[in-house]
Amino acid sequence: MSLNIGVVMDPIAHIKPWKDTTLAMLLEAQRRGWTLHYMEPADLYVRDGRVFAVTRDLAVRDDNQDWFTLGEPAPRDLTGMDMILMRQDPPFDAAYLYATYLLEKVEREGVLVANRPASVRDSNEKLFATDFPQCCVPTLVSGRAALLREFVKEQGDTVMKPLDAMGGTNVFRIEPGSANLSVIIDVLTEDGKTPIMAQRFVPEIKQGDKRILMINGEPVPYALARIPKEGEFRGNLAAGGTGEGRELTDRDRWICEQVGPTLKRKGLYFVGLDVIGDYLTEINVTSPTCVRELDRIFDINIAGQLFDALLELK
């Protein structure tokens, strides 16, 4: 079966091919004989109510020096696609918001978009985790300095982070009595105008921040534990962490059972849960990563599992 697969992503020339999950998906789609059509968010447009994009045919290779070839740009009616992968990285800014609106129009015409644009738009990766308080450490979301200071006084060692960043950007660990508490709050909240997230620090981060991948509400049975580098508390690979493969624990599976039905109902077909120790900290719905690392460690094909699941939905 030959399919036309569109991918909306950040510039493919700038990815790190040896670790890029979108490339893993594209390689699997090409292995299946599917035709790939590449577009960036700025390529999407609406003409007389129909959604088009300036697309380019794409060929990919598993080569860290030479991983793609693009054809000539040409306008294409996106309702002719069989499936569109929405793989744009945060931050979730105005351009990202508009892309969800346009892809939602395509979805209404019967094209499968993964993940569902409206659900991506409505599921902030930090706030979404608070829908499952039974899985989380004590958490506060607020822009009010007094509430944030009281939370630190109550919880002790605390992590504060913005709601719209990724890769460990602007994540602060604050210990009781820190002289920098007020300035950190002022900077992160933009002097009280923007809410942020505060969570009790989980010391088990030393054993890794686990990324658990969910496919249509069901977990891949292995996680990538991202171990912080020496002198660092953030496990993100972008912050210098190293990845170590782990089988899911009973607690991990319980968290997946709590979250999975909601993901399936929302059409969030491919999601990354972040779990530290026994606690869910974030739910990544935009462009979850770690496929290539897990595939290498456990000799599996996560992109293949994802496409098999998506084909069952068509």
The pairing of beta strand 270-276 with beta strand 279-284: antiparallel
Distance between CA atoms of 155 and 176, rounded to whole angstroms?
Answer: 9
Catalytic residue status for 295: no
Respond yes or no: is residue 211 known to be catalytic: yes
CB 236 within 8 A of CB 170: no
Instruction: State yes or no: is 180 an active-site residue.
Output: no
Among 20, 125, 282, 293, the active-site one is: 282
Q: Which of 115, 124, 236, 284 is catalytic?
A: 284
CB 76 within 8 A of CB 37: yes
Helix ranges (H only) for the chain are 21-31, 94-108, 117-122, 145-155, 181-188, 250-266, 291-298, 302-313
Residue 90 DSSP label:
S
SS percent in the chain: helix, strand, coil, step 5 = 35, 30, 35
Q: Rounded to whole angstroms, how far apart are CA atoms 182 and 146?
A: 10
Concerning whether 234 is annotated as a catalytic residue, the answer is yes
The answer to whether residue 200 is catalytic is no
Instruction: Find the catalytic residue in 76, 87, 116, 161.
Output: 161
Residues paired with 53 in a beta bridge: 44, 76
Q: Which helix (H) or strand (E) holds 280?
A: strand 279-284
161 is catalytic: yes
Structure tokens at 169: 């950007």
Amino acid occupying residue 292:
R
Residue in 56, 105, 126, 200 annotated catalytic: 126
Catalytic residue among 40, 274, 293, 295: 274
Active site residue 282: yes
Q: Which two tokens stand for residue 60?
A: 């990919």
Annotation marks residue 226 as catalytic? yes
**One of 56, 76, 200, 211 is an active-site residue; which one?**
211
Among 210, 226, 246, 292, the one annotated catalytic: 226
Active-site positions read 126, 161, 211, 226, 234, 274, 282, 284
